[in-house]
Amino acid sequence: MLISSKAAPRVSPWTAILAEHWPEYASEGLGLGLFMISACTFGTLLAHPESPVVRLVRNPTLLRTLMGMAMGSTSAALVYSKFGKRSGAHLNPATTLTFIRLGKVEPIDALFYISAQFTGAILGVYVSSIVLGRWLAHPAVDYVVTLPGPYGYWWAFLAESTITFLLMSVILRVSNTPKLNRYTGLFAASLVMIYISIEAPISGMSMNPARTFGSAFSATNWTAIWIYFTAPPLGMLMAAEFYVRSRGAGQPGRVLCAKLHHENRERCIFRCNYPR
Q: For residue 168, what is the domain's CATH number? A: 1.20.1080.10
Q: Is residue 241 part of a domain?
A: yes
Q: Is residue 199 part of a domain?
A: yes
Q: Is residue 61 part of a domain?
A: yes
Query: What is d(CA 88, CA 267) in angstroms, rounded to the nearest whole number?
Result: 10
Q: Is residue 128 part of a domain?
A: yes
Q: Is residue 270 part of a domain?
A: no
87 Cβ partners below 8 Å, 6+ apart? 24, 25, 27, 28, 31, 113
Q: Quick one: 223 exposed, middle or buried, by C-beta within 10 A (0-12, 13-18, 19+)?
A: middle
Q: Is residue 89 part of a domain?
A: yes
Range of the domain at 119: 21-247
Q: Is residue 240 part of a domain?
A: yes
Domain count across the chain: 1
Query: What's the start-to-end Cα distance of the chain, in Å?
Result: 45
Per-residue pLDDT of the chain (276 residues; tens, 9 = 90+): 445 545 556 768 788 888 899 999 999 999 999 999 999 999 999 999 999 999 999 899 999 999 999 999 999 999 999 999 999 999 999 999 999 999 999 999 999 999 999 999 999 999 999 999 999 999 999 999 999 999 999 999 999 999 999 999 999 999 999 899 999 999 999 999 999 999 999 999 999 999 999 999 999 999 999 999 999 999 999 999 999 988 765 454 578 899 998 888 899 999 988 776
Q: Is residue 253 part of a domain?
A: no
